[in-house]
A = this chain, B = another copy of it.
């Protein structure tokens, strides 16, 4: 809210700036992930965040807004991380591999978040149909940029539609996410190591299934 009301490095730092809002969002990720968005009560989130029910409404317009805020908050972090990491890669091929790696790493590291982003967010009609657009397209945009760069420099074939491929890539990763979450939930072991998954998806997208593809 008022992020600048204290002076850095001086004693009078307002304790835990943005604390409540942050705690609520963090709690929401876990509660929504656990029970699902529609089955979670706002008070569940409040309790998990250690605040009173009404407090949620000081920071969020309503339950939907809370869901959207969770999304925005997390996506901001993820997008920043993603861009910064990809900048370290030299060529589109490396970037694509890193993109896949980062996506799947994230899923493993924070399953609750993965669940909210991959499953719960699709619930709110309002979300999928009206809001999903912005940050989501930014994420897709990152993938698309890799593809167009690769086409330009000749690492990828020129006859593909980047808009279609970025979707296919996202869909594949998203579905693997759902699979992984299901395993975790049912205490089944993951079907393969993260490394294997990354390699397989990378190979799929770069070389395809064809036996003579990859020489």
Q: Which residues of A contact B (CB under 8 A)?
A: 35-36, 38-39, 96, 119, 122-125, 128-129, 147, 150, 154-161, 163-165, 167-176, 178-179, 182, 185, 191-192, 196-197, 200-201, 203-215
- Assembly CA distance A159 to B182 (angstroms): 24
- Assembly CA distance A168 to B122 (angstroms): 19
A5 CB, min distance to chain B CBs, angstroms: 16
Contact of B161 with A192 in the complex, beta carbons under 8 Å: yes
A89 CB, min distance to chain B CBs, angstroms: 16
Picked from B38, B156, B209, the residue with its CB within 8 Å of the CB of A211 is: B156
Contact of A155 with B213 in the complex, beta carbons under 8 Å: no
- Assembly CA distance A214 to B159 (angstroms): 11
Chain B residues with CB under 8 Å of A206's CB are 208-210
Using A167-B172, A171-B176 as known contacts, say yes or no to A161 and B196 having CB atoms under 8 A apart: yes
Using A154-B211, A156-B210, A210-B214 as known contacts, say yes or no to A185 and B129 having CB atoms under 8 A apart: yes
- Assembly CA distance A150 to B179 (angstroms): 23
Interface centre among A157, A200, A205, A215 (most CB of B within 10 A): A157
When C-beta atoms are compared, the residue in chain B nearest to A177 turns out to be B171
A124 CB, min distance to chain B CBs, angstroms: 8
Chain B residues with CB under 8 Å of A124's CB are 36
Chain B residues with CB under 8 Å of A203's CB are 159-160, 208
